[in-house]
Structure 1
Amino acid sequence: MITSSRTAAAGRREWIGLAVLTLPALLASLELTVTNLALPAIGRDLGAGGTQLLWIVDVYAFLLAGSLITMGAWGDRIGRRRLLLIGAATYGIVSALAAYAPDPGSLIAARALMGVAGATLMPSVLSLVTSMFTDPRQRAVAIGVIVASVSGGTAIGPLVGGWLLERFWWGAAFLLAVPVMAVLLVLGPLLLPEHRDPQPGRLDVLSALLSLGAVLPVVYGLKQIAADGPAPLPSAAVLAGGLVALVFVARQRTLADPLVDLRLFSDRVFSTAAATLALGIFVLWGSNYAIAQYLQLVQGLSPLEAGLWTAPSAVGVIAGSTLAPRLTRVARPPMIIAAGLAVSAAGYVVLTQTGGLAVLVTGAVVVSAGLGPMMALATDLVVGSAPAHRAGAAAAISSTAPQLGGALGIAVIGSIITAAYRWQTSSTGVPEAARDNLAAAVAVAEDLPSRSAEQLLGVARAAFVHGFHIAAGVGAVLMAAVAALVVLLLRGPGRTPGRGG
């Protein structure tokens, strides 16, 4: 790979532009948190059933994940700033439509459009960062800021959502995006440079459809497996998505202008960093899913209270991702990533001892503080290893890999806890209806006398905690293994990721 010698230091305009780019990054995670808090009010006001409420959340995530690759490649062709502004305008409009949706079906449709529009944001943000900050050290700092912004949305989401929903109706959760996108639309053309592939090829529509057909069934199937356990339909969906992915890869090999340049994966830095991102988020999302259940079903907290207790772990990611670029002054990025993963493994060891909120929060903060450097530096390695004209596609891969890894992590970690729960409750006299999972046991306990309910919940919660400890142990082993692989695959002097020519 030819490395560009253009590494001029960024000036004031670029750093102010970075501040503008933090807006969509912050909104991405903030919006999802606030939407989850708004679901009960949506259910009451629109008469939405349980399945409809799930689709209000899931259709956004599905289409976001499925559209990332296409949007990244499209940005390389039409210009990354142009794509960002088109996506911001569309996102703001459909957010307003969602806020005033008259029925569940209309809201689900608006959320689907929000997912497609949202897929333009992070690939555009990351590819613009790589274009604006050509100095490797400055680029690492800038990407750390973007990662911290995403985590910042998670941290303040419960506070912002709770404040909005106490004072306004549920539509305010969606209107939040309108002023943010308006600011982006005003400042973006003034502060953000335009970058595109100087020789853009034709966007292959069939490849775009295949990428959607590969990612959507996989994410859907994994989410269903996480929620209800293995079943024929979700398992078939995952298999079908895998088969479509094989067709997608085969087609990319035959195209002069592929949607995804598979030669990117021949770069050891690129492929190892992308895999590390996927595996790190695999464990993080899986454990976050388990922690949310623990807080609500074992500790009996409300969703808002549970969100507040998870905020410190988001702060851990912010601290880790912003500190990582400074650490690169004394150590190579792969070594920092590996050290962070080792810290994360230690955090999972702490979580194996969870018996109350203090230990839980301590372990979660250590985990996230260790994963923060990985998220920032691995993302930097992915986008920094790609040629400049493929920055959008590389940014899309760095966004898609965590989406797929996270969905798989929720399914696998959730399945581990469920399997342990069922094993523990199978021989304890727990009623059959309460043996499926802890949520089922809580529902059964609501119809029992207080003494019987207390006994049932004691056994069921102990079984869940046992499964939680096993899942945390799996996380510790996996993080330690990934740390060792990073050291093994990226050892040696290597090279500083650069912008290819």
Structure 2
Amino acid sequence: MQDIASAAAPTRAGLREWLGLTVLALPTLLVAVDINALFLALPQLSADLGTSGVEQLWIIDIYGFMVAGFVTTMGTLGDRIGRRRLLLAGGAAFGVVSVLAAYSISPAMLIACRTLLGIAGATLMPSTLALITNMFRDAKQRGAAIAVWATCQFAGAALGPVVSGILLEHFWWGSVFLPAVPVIAVLLLAGPVVLPEYRGPDAGRPDLTSVALSLLAILPIIYGIKNLAAGTDSPAGPIAAIAAGGAFGAAFARRQLRLDHPLLNLRLFAQRPFTLVLTALTLAGVAMAGTGLLVTQYLQTVLGYAPAQSALWFAPMGLAVALGTLLTPALTRSITPKTAIAGGLALSAVGAGLLVAVGSGDGPATAIAGVTVLALGTGPLFALGTAIVVGSVPPEKAGSAASMSETANYLGGTLGMAVLGTVAAAIYHQRMAGAVPADVLGEAARRAQETVAGVGTAAAGLPPADAAALVQAGQDAFTSGLHAVGLISAALFTVLAALIAGLFRPEPANQHG
């Protein structure tokens, strides 16, 4: 085994490192695809396994819960036991459990498999990013490599529903898990050959108390946010979960500041570039997730597209982020990173603003153009910002920094769907409060005031003219919510662009190695 204490990496990467990047792209794509793999398969698997509504929610959400809860622990664990070792072990577990998930015979078995997949997935993302940081010590090469990594991440998220849709056209619901098997096989065969091992020479033993506190902080917060976003009848439980997570988070923070070898180095927030970029990554995730959620719902509930059609129409958003990250290294040959990030965020504000022009009777063009421009503008932030975060620490601590970047992205996405989704739902409810005819009663009226799908059910028993008016009112109300989310997102991107332009002062390149 080679570790940092005993061997210095070459200044510039060679053929082995670039081949290693190709291998690292595979688990990056895999985790991104797997996050969205089950959305289109849910109706089939529910009919086959007989899942309840609560079980469906756990099947979908538990994977993300586990990734969010364990990514910090796994990033630091890789620093201590070796990143290649953790990557290969996590990859092997991911492959085995994917097969078990594909052939699940009960909802409980599938939930258990998704739980284990989330824990295994948490080992893959920080390990890949940390290895890239160690393999590519030259700043320009590292920037290009991280851009490729980010491109794979967002391309995978965009292609996940498309791949699932194609598989479901020909095979059973479990087939969406099986693409992981050949990907993991390549990783396990090629990884030991082209990936070097890295670990911190002075890493202490894992602090299990910090691990427990981090889980007790993150999981209740994510749980509470998701349940509030789902419109639970009693918000007391989710709010209590968020409060409990916040209390454990405060205890976690106090412990990290006292430890010589913390699980998470909170002192990094004293560095302005680090704090600005992590804030930007989180808030950009809020805007992207919120607009993405509303546009996918617009495609299905207002325009009436099937899920597979919606996935194809929505793919340009993920592909635009991928293109933006891939083009960033070439862009920074002529402009500074600060200009690239701030300019990209300003472009994203324009894209979010386009969503205000979407009409309920329009086709998909304006909405897709808006989220595509928005996504394209975030490319420099995700490519350069991620490099800034992992470059803020010595190479032997890159796994911990990578996990912070991933946590910011996931937390931003969760907040975006929860907060902006709730804003849109409130606007819809307010607009529909007086729009439901008096002869629509009880549960049908309540559902019509909550969702466009409920409007369709309520309209079925009305005279044609009244039914058409109610459907139009529902579509207009939903589009008003989309407009509000577009305005909020445009404001977020504008503020972030101004903060980066005015306050960002990058640290000297290669300060840690």
TM-score bin, normalised by smaller chain:
over 0.9
The one of 317, 325, 329 equivalent to 1:321 is 325
Alignment-derived partner of residue 467 in structure 2: 453
Match of 2:270?
Answer: 266
What's the % identity of the aligned pairs? 45
The structure 2 residue matched to 1:280, chosen from 284, 300, 314, is: 284
Displacement of 1:315 after TM fit?
Answer: 1.6
Distance 1:87 1:381 in 2: 26
Cα deviation, residue 147, structure 1 = 0.9
**Residue 479 of structure 1 pairs with residue 510 of structure 2:** no
Who is 1:382 aligned against? 389
Query: How far apart, in 2, do the equivalents of 1:6 and 1:96 lie?
Result: 37
Residues 337/440 of structure 1: CA separation in 2 closer, same or farther (3 Å cut): same
User: 2:164 corresponds to which residue?
Assistant: 161
User: Cα 1:389–1:51, aligned 2, differ >3 Å: closer, same or farther?
Assistant: same
Q: Distance in 2 between matches of 1:128 and 1:449?
A: 64
Q: In the TM superposition, what is the alpha-carbon distance from 1:274 to its structure 2 partner?
A: 1.0
Match of 1:66 among 66, 69, 73: 69
Q: Residues of 2 paired with 1:115 and 1:487: CA distance?
A: 37
Residue equivalent to 2:312: 308
Q: Does 1:94 align with 2:97?
A: yes
Let me know the Cα RMSD of the aligned residues.
1.6
Residue 25 of structure 1 corresponds to 28
Which of 170, 173, 186 matches 1:170?
A: 173
CA contact (8 A) 1:413 1:471 kept: yes
Residue 257 of structure 1 deviates from its aligned partner by: 1.4
Counterpart residue identity of residue 466, structure 1: S
Alignment of 1:289-304 (within 5 A): 289-304=293-308
Farther off after superposition, 62-71 or 385-394:
385-394
User: Among 476, 489, 510, which residue is 1:462 paired with?
Assistant: 476
Structure 2 Cα separation of the partners of residues 150 and 77 of structure 1: 25
Query: What secondary structure does 2:74 align onto?
Result: helix
1:115 to 118, 127, 149: 118
Residue 478 of structure 1 and its aligned partner are, at CA, apart by 0.9
1:131 and 2:134 matched: yes
Q: Does the residue aligned with 2:304 lie in a helix, a strand or coil? A: coil
Q: Could you tell me how far 1:139 is from its partner in structure 2? A: 0.7
Amino acid at match of 1:321: T
Distance in 2 (CA, whole Å) between partners of 1:349 and 1:98 is 41
Q: Cα deviations across residues 292-332 of structure 1 (Å, max 9, x unaligned)?
A: 11111111111111111101111211111011111111222
Residues 55 and 445 of structure 1: is their aligned pair in 2 closer, same or farther, counting only changes over 3 Å?
Answer: farther
Contact 2:436 2:449 in 1 (8 A): no
- Deviations along 1:89-143, one digit per CA (max 9) or x if unpaired, are 0111111111111100110011000000000011001000000011111111111
Q: Unpaired runs of 5+ in structure 2?
A: 1-7
Structure 1 distance, partners of 2:99, 2:452, is 37
Distance 1:292 1:241, change over 3 A: same
Q: Which shifted more, 39-48 or 424-433?
A: 424-433
The CA distance in 1 between the partners of 2:459 and 2:127, in whole Å, is 49
TM-score (norm 2): 0.93
Farther off after superposition, 477-486 or 219-228: 219-228
Is the aligned partner of 1:488 residue 2:502?
yes
Q: Which residue of 1 aligns with 2:107?
A: 104
**Cα distance, 1:452 vs structure 2:** 3.7
The residue type paired with residue 416 of structure 1 is V
CA distance 1:443–1:498, shift in 2 (3 Å): farther
| Counterpart for residue 216 of structure 2 | 213
- Give the residue type in structure 2 aligned to 1:393: S
Q: CA deviation at 1:276?
A: 0.9
1:444 deviates by: 3.0
Tell me by how many angstroms 1:415 deviates: 1.3
For residues 136 and 255 of structure 2, the distance between their equivalents in structure 1, rounded to whole angstroms, comes to: 33
Task: State whether residues 136 and 496 of structure 1, in contact with CA within 8 Å, keep that contact through their aligned partners in structure 2.
Answer: no
Query: Offset at 1:429?
Result: 3.7
1:223 maps to amino acid: K
Q: Which moved more, 1:394-403 or 1:41-50?
A: 41-50
Write the letter of the residue equivalent to 2:369: T
**2:4 counterpart residue number:** none
Rounded to whole Å, the distance in 1 between the matches of 2:187 and 2:468 is 52
CA contact (8 A) 1:385 1:498 kept: no
Mapping of 1:415-454 within 5 angstroms? Answer: 415-430=422-437, 431=440, 432-433=445-446, 434-446=448-460, 448=462, 450-454=464-468
Cα contact 1:338–1:484 (8 A) shared by 2: yes
Letter in 1 for 2:149: I
Inter-partner Cα distance in structure 2 for 1:313 and 1:448: 38
Q: 2 CA distance for matches of 1:85 and 1:307?
A: 31
Distance apart, 1:50 and its partner CA: 2.0
Where does 1:143-158 land on structure 2 (aligned, <5 Å)?
Answer: 143-158=146-161
1:369 corresponds to 2:381: no
Q: Which amino acid aligns with 1:164?
A: L
Name the SS of the counterpart of 2:55 in structure 1: helix
Q: CA deviation at 1:33?
A: 2.5
Quote the Cα distance in structure 2 between the aligned partners of 1:448 and 1:194: 68
Q: TM-score, normalised by structure 1?
A: 0.96
| Alpha-carbon distance in 2 for matches of 1:70, 1:446 | 52
**Letter of the 1:459 counterpart:** A
Cα distance in 2 for partners of 1:395, 1:475 equals 26
Give 2:251's aligned amino acid: V
Cα distance in 2, alignment partners of residues 128 and 46 from structure 1: 40
Query: Alpha-carbon deviation of 1:32?
Result: 2.5
Change in CA separation of 1:150 and 1:446 when aligned onto 2, cut-off 3 Å: farther
